[in-house]
């Protein structure tokens, strides 16, 4: 049987929370898990589910130095950085 040990809980992005404070949303914190008896780690992204005024699912992945786009919007199937994400959310609000 597979055993996982949680290494770290990922907190929501404060800047993104400031942007979506006027939306209806729920957050599911991300986690970094270690698969016991191996050297494998699994990252569950932080999930922001916006339900009003539009339905969006935004996933925030822990970033490494190579990737500069930690946010993924499921409905658009694209990656974004924080600046691009701010612009999209502001457009959707108006």
Q: What is the pLDDT along the chain (94 residues), one digit of tens a residue?
A: 889 999 999 999 999 999 899 899 999 999 999 999 999 999 899 999 999 888 999 999 887 656 688 999 999 999 999 999 999 988 887 6
CA angle 93-84-88, nearest 5°? 20
**What pLDDT shows up at residue 92?**
82
**What pLDDT shows up at residue 67?**
66
pTM of the model: 0.85
């Amino acid at each position: 049987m597979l055993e996982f040990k949680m290494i770290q809980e990922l907190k929501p992005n404060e800047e993104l929370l400031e942007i979506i404070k006027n939306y209806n949303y729920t957050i599911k914190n991300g986690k970094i898990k270690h698969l016991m008896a191996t050297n494998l780690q699994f990252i569950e992204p932080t999930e922001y589910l916006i339900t009003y005024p539009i339905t969006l699912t935004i996933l925030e992945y822990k970033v490494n130095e190579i990737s500069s786009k930690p946010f993924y919007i499921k409905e658009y199937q694209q990656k974004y950085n924080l600046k691009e994400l701010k612009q999209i959310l502001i457009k959707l609000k108006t």
